[in-house]
Structure 1
Amino acid sequence: MDDLYHFDEFNFHALEDKFSSSNDIFWETKGHNEMKNVQFSLPQDLGDYNGTDESLNSNFGFIPNDPSQEQEFLLSTTSQQKYHQDYEAFDNLHFDMVHFDEQFPTKAVPICETKNEKQYHQTPVEILKNYGKGFKRLLHDEGKILHPIDDFDLVTKNEHVRKKLSTEDIMKIAGTRFIQSSSSESSSSGKLILNHPFGFSFSGLSDEEKEDVALAESLLACAEKVGYQQYERARSFLSQIESLSSKTGNPVKRVVYYFAEALRRRINKETGRVSVSSNNSTKKIESLFDPEETTKDLNPTLIAFFEDLPFCKVSMFTCVQALIENVTDAKKIHVIDLEIRKGLPWTILMQELQSRNELCPLEILKITAIVSGNTNNSKIIVDDTGKRLSEFAQSLNINFSFNIVMVSDLLHLSEDLFEIDSDETVAVYSHFALRSKIQNSDQLETIMRVVRTINPVVMVVAEIEANHNSKSFVNRFIEALFYFSAFFDCFEDCMKKDEKNRMIMESMYFSHGIRNTVAEEGAERKSRNVKIDVWRNFFTRFGMVEKELSMMCLYQAELVAKRYACGNSCTFDMNGHCLLVGWKGTPIASASVWKFV
């Protein structure tokens, strides 16, 4: 079977730069990458939601830990302190799955060569100009049609009706100003850009917005100096940027604070100014806090993130809906989960399978979780998940089997490790599971070869929709700046009443991602998200074709978003057959469905 498909050279870097967000982060896409902002609401309401508001927004019953300092939070996570977990509330998370209604028809070269990874340099002006002529936003016309409008007009016309600019809007305006001023004396003097020759064009901005634009513009100028390796000039910018940004300010000042922190670290590493003791201390703290490991279990901050922000639930329910539609007539279902974590999707799946039992009795549901590495903690977490899922299945009278495929290294993964019966309907579920394997390309190749050999009826995939894998430092910097700006804007809107967990999420999890993307290179740079076009090309190598998401999947996504107080700012776009879930138009995550041919 291996001879059926030619695993030729695949370069994630080359593809990622080719399919840069320059095409879609500013909504000026062309050709097959065109994105369409859509609304999925059906012509009529499908009825009530059986009290899902309460269960969807339940708090899982955690006893608050209330760490007052980041270090205290760090120690609490690394000491494996166990929180009391009321899984009854956790498992009762339920959403009516949308049902079909006829009235709504519906060995290759390593992916990421970190050892020989050579940087190439681009200036911010070159990259920003690639985004198209100026920076465009989309203006809704009766909630359906979107028209590009110029940010200049946005801030200078209809001042009495315009809303406060989002964090990303500020960044777009700063990018426009930076392009226009790139050859001016102010952009090379190392001074904060406040008195700008194009300032009259933004007379509609509030004083705070003007300050934020100037701050963001100076950050771009600083990144340019770092790209040119003009570190002393960059330090001049940084000193002023750091004095005006703050981890406790508005979203612009907060995101600039963490990007400035990352730039400072990069400069220090490049110039050798990091002391041995300081470097060892930083490495010790970072080794204690690993976001990939931490997110495998639950803590109050992750639960707050899951409860308050729509992206995880939207992508999860969409993927579960797609999975159900592809096993609708199966009596023996076997789901392989590439990153099971706490197994929340499977409590939802069980409830749906029970509800269809009269029409199609379920004989058995099997879940197989893949666990890699030598960390005993991971095994404990997955064992706990299996026990809880078994208890939940028993409460629903579902015949259930939970298996763990544990390997010390994913390179050792093989189809022989999976207990698959010939009469089972097999599906693969990957929810933000592949992104962490991009750096370890051999592992990613192994996973996909094994999955292809198993030949499931469907593979549902959710991934982060971002370009953080370019060899160009400046390209990565700008892409990450817009992506994280959208997230910080979302934090501000969705976590207003939870200052503590918002600050922990920003200062621990997101600062780690920013720092790793901006300051690290080679094997140390582990944050390497890529966009759906890159995944699409990668999956094609394994004989996979993309299936169209049903209208029911799209409607499910919209239903979940509407359950959030900030759900109106959650936007949906289509890239081919893939659903992009975004924040005020900026893509955040993707959901797609695949089959083998």
Structure 2
Amino acid sequence: MENVMFSLEGFNFSEVQDKLSSTDNGFESMRGGNIGKQFNSYGTEDWGGSGAIDSLYSGYGFYQDVSSSEEIIFSKYPRLEPQPEPRQQSYSDFGLFDHLGFDIASPPIQTCLEEISKLGEIPTEIQDVVQPKKDKQFPFSLASLELLKNYGSGIKRLNGDRRIEPSTETALTKMSSRKLSAEEIMRIAGERFIRSSSQAVEDVVSMLGNPFNLSFSGLSDEEIRDVELAEFLLASAEKVGDQQYERATRFLNQCDYLSSNKGNPVQRVVYYFSEALREKIDRETGRICIKELGKKQPFDVDLAMMSANPTTLACHEAIPFSQVLQFTGIQAIVENVAEAKRIHVIDLGIRNGVQWTVLMQSLASRCGCPIELLKITAVGTAAKHLLEETGKNLESFAQSVNLPFSYNTVMVSDMLDLKEDLFEINPEEKVVVYALFTLRSMISVPNRLENIMRVVRNINPCMMVVTEVDANHNSPVFVNRFIEALFYFSAYFDCLDACMKRDDPHRMVTESMFFGDGIRDIVAAEGKERKTRHVKLDVWRAFFTRYGMEEIELSMVSLYQANLVVKKFPCESSCTIELNGKSLLVGWKGTPIHSLSVWKFI
């Protein structure tokens, strides 16, 4: 490489994240009040004829200048309102993913034990439970224990619920007054599974005949069944990790019998993870050839999100995460371009582009510094017709709010071909780069990620807004990925259950296609075949720092904006808004789901 700054050498996404805790300590929690006027939307009749804008962005309060008109806009400064009550609480080889071991089998469970042990010593009292004999080790259980401990500490939850302490019956009794979440069920099952390590549980019969040393005191009949179902899933994963596929299949048969893609969140989660484990067994035993899998047309999440289809719109309206991230990110942009008359947004993954109607509304209503031009450039490698359709919709909306606007597309066959001279950059423009769930898709192809960062560096934008999945799903160790993904999707499925009816067809599609495919990829695939590779915020921090970038602190206005959006949802007490350093984590009952961070070059 000519410039060391752009070298990926020495940076290891998978290694860094395996050394990080599954949760982030020291979050600052905050809660906003419902202030401001209602957001008015325009041009809905031109947005695909669906009225999508009105359904997505109506009914939110925003900060505005005192001199502004009735239409609500974002502002650099908040109005003087009563303070809300606080809530109670070439990195060239990249080091890389799977250590470039793309052609080898999944690492043995012993490797997991070695990796996990680096996190710290296991307390003596726990060692006595999970490893009663010095000559007998239980790698899967120890690994599970460390990850479970991470999930059980270090998070401040905004809804005031007590953190679960699965090792004590007292905690179970305290929780008996409310329904346990899917994530809590998984943690109880994990603790029971850990305690079972001292018992030679080899099959379903012996598992049922040897109850573990943790009573079900305080749990409902349904919760007891869910815990037992989760235990079968953990037992099957252990056997898969040990390559004991026949025994794993016995446990999976029990999972299939008890789980359902139409049941409660635990049953649904187990249903999809059980499917993924079966596919992993088929892959590793040769029942499914990798070439045969390659012939199947995979479900492309990013492509599906490029059109305002009914499922994505329904989820956007019912689930708070997307709107919280979009409104908060746009607020950060508005503050950083407050004095600019010409603004150029480079969107690395524009999807349906609805988020930019919020920025247009703000800029069109801006007082004192009228906008001369808003330019949006969408970058893509496929589906040019969808990008062009998005442009037409945005142009129509811009006209409806009388905003000077231009839209361009930069199409490349491969992100390796992206160059800064493809963008029409005007020296008078203030450039913003926007990456919404874009960079994660290139973790498995680091040379493309490297090229994007080189181009962004040469453009030198005033800011780069990055939204990503905040999860550790990139470990080269199977058991680590399995446990991390199990807790993450348990929290997300619990959110879906709170926000949508169980028989909602859009929920079914979301779980089976958007999430089900991702679960199978995380669990069943290894090496270069594994495309779904999420990493946590601290990993992205280390990555961006290598490129000479520094984190921009989100303002209190942006954070308050996030809380205003959350308060519009019936499930607002369960959606957590937490500061992590200078960035934002949006989660469900304390489990991080997405991150929003803003960056600039030093």
Answer whether TM exceeds 0.5 for this pair. Answer: yes
Report the equivalent of 1:370.
379
Contact 1:134 1:150 in 2 (8 A): no
Distance in 1 separating the partners of 2:6 and 2:306:
35
Match of 1:449 among 449, 454, 465: 454
Contact 2:28 2:580 in 1 (8 A): no
- Name the CA shift for 1:139/1:484 in 2 (closer, same or farther; >3 Å): closer
1:181 aligns with 2:196: yes
Distance in 2 separating the partners of 1:150 and 1:512:
32
Contact 2:173 2:217 in 1 (8 A): no
| C-alpha distance after superposition, 1:459-489 (max 9, x if no partner) | 1111000111000001000000001111111
- Name the CA shift for 1:103/1:412 in 2 (closer, same or farther; >3 Å): same
Report the equivalent of 1:38.
29
Distance in 2 separating the partners of 1:89 and 1:131:
42
State the shift of 1:416 in Å. Answer: 0.6
Contact 2:548 2:601 in 1 (8 A): yes
| C-alpha distance after superposition, 1:324-371 (max 9, x if no partner) | 111011111111111011111211001101111x31111111111111
Report the equivalent of 2:147.
131
Distance in 2 separating the partners of 1:459 and 1:388:
24
1:479 partner amino acid: E
Contact 1:570 1:584 in 2 (8 A): yes
Match of 1:240 among 245, 251, 254: 254
Contact 2:577 2:585 in 1 (8 A): yes
Contact 2:38 2:59 in 1 (8 A): no
2:92 partner amino acid: V
Report the equivalent of 1:402.
407
Distance in 1 separating the partners of 2:101 and 2:350:
33
Q: How does 1:534-573 map onto structure 2 within 5 Å?
A: 534-573=539-578
Match of 1:267 among 267, 281, 284: 281
Distance in 2 separating the partners of 1:134 and 1:394:
51
1:267 partner amino acid: I
Report the equivalent of 1:10.
11
State the shift of 1:2 in Å. Answer: 6.7
Match of 1:303 among 299, 305, 313: 313
1:340 aligns with 2:350: yes
Report the equivalent of 1:66.
none
Report the equivalent of 1:150.
165
Q: SS of the counterpart of 2:271? A: helix
Instruction: Select between 517-526 and 469-478 the one with higher mean Cα deviation.
Output: 517-526
Distance in 2 separating the partners of 1:500 and 1:60:
26
Q: SS of the counterpart of 1:341? A: coil
State the shift of 1:147 in Å. Answer: 7.0
Identity of aligned residues (%): 49
- Name the CA shift for 1:265/1:159 in 2 (closer, same or farther; >3 Å): closer
Structure 2 alignment gaps of length 5 or more: 64-74, 84-89, 113-138
Q: SS of the counterpart of 1:343? A: coil
1:5 partner amino acid: M
Report the equivalent of 1:359.
368
Q: SS of the counterpart of 2:297? A: helix
State the shift of 1:59 in Å. Answer: 11
Report the equivalent of 1:116.
101
2:101 partner amino acid: N
Q: How many residues align structurally?
A: 548
| C-alpha distance after superposition, 1:75-127 (max 9, x if no partner) | xxxxxxxx85445646865744433238699x332434576335433243222
Contact 2:584 2:597 in 1 (8 A): yes
Q: SS of the counterpart of 1:35? A: coil
Report the equivalent of 2:224.
210
1:322 partner amino acid: A
State the shift of 1:6 in Å. Answer: 6.4
Q: How does 1:82-121 map onto structure 2 within 5 Å?
A: 85-86=50-51, 89=54, 93=58, 95-98=60-63, 99=75, 100-101=77-78, 107-111=90-94, 112=96, 116-117=101-102, 118=104, 119-121=106-108
State the shift of 1:134 in Å. Answer: 8.7
State the shift of 1:501 in Å. Answer: 1.2
Distance in 1 separating the partners of 2:491 and 2:159:
22
Q: SS of the counterpart of 1:402? A: strand
- Name the CA shift for 1:61/1:127 in 2 (closer, same or farther; >3 Å): farther
Structure 1 alignment gaps of length 5 or more: 25-32, 63-82
Report the equivalent of 2:132.
none
1:362 partner amino acid: I
TM-score (norm 2): 0.84
Contact 1:428 1:460 in 2 (8 A): yes
Q: SS of the counterpart of 2:573? A: helix
TM-score (norm 1): 0.85
Contact 1:218 1:237 in 2 (8 A): yes
2:315 partner amino acid: F
State the shift of 1:191 in Å. Answer: 3.7
Distance in 2 separating the partners of 1:135 and 1:415:
42
Distance in 1 separating the partners of 2:571 and 2:448:
38
Contact 1:35 1:573 in 2 (8 A): no
- Name the CA shift for 1:148/1:568 in 2 (closer, same or farther; >3 Å): closer
Instruction: Select between 191-200 and 486-495 the one with higher mean Cα deviation.
Output: 191-200
Q: CA RMSD in A?
A: 3.0
- Name the CA shift for 1:536/1:274 in 2 (closer, same or farther; >3 Å): same
2:78 partner amino acid: D
